[in-house]
Amino acid sequence: MAKRSTPKKQQANSQSSRRYKAYQNKARKRLVDMTALSKCDQCSEMKLAHAACATCGTYKGRTVIDQSKAMDKITKIQA
Ligand SMILES: [Zn+2]
């Protein structure tokens, strides 16, 4: 025995997809809000809060990642 009433009409695909898109947007917004972003003091780029800036390598005004020593992209393997 059905616990809820039987749908009277078949639902249009657009109606289902509209409901799903609303749910998707809500979930996406929630994810963005969870990611704590802040502005870097040195280069004013967006960075993760409580973490060193990936662009300039500073954290709280001091350099923690030396950008000059950053490894070059490996393009070929030397034997
Ligand atoms: Zn920075």
Q: Give pLDDT tens digits for 27-79.
A: 998 988 888 888 998 899 989 999 999 888 899 989 988 877 766 777 787 76
Domain span including residue 52: 37-66
- Is 18 contained in some domain? no
Q: Tell me which residue has tokens 């009277």.
A: 8
Q: How far is ligand 1, taken at its centre, from the CA of residue 29, in Å?
A: 25
Task: With 0.85 as the threshold, say if the pTM is over it.
Answer: no
Higher pLDDT, 35 or 19: 19
- Is 76 contained in some domain? no
Q: Tell me which residue has tokens 């809000």.
A: 33
Q: How far is ligand 1, taken at its centre, from the CA of residue 15, in Å?
A: 45
Q: How far is ligand 1, taken at its centre, from the CA of residue 65, in Å?
A: 11
Structurally, the chain folds into a number of domains equal to 1
Mean pLDDT in residue range 4-10: 91
Q: How far is ligand 1, taken at its centre, from the CA of residue 58, in Å?
A: 6
- Is 51 contained in some domain? yes
Mean pLDDT in residue range 13-18: 96
Q: How far is ligand 1, taken at its centre, from the CA of residue 43, in Å?
A: 4
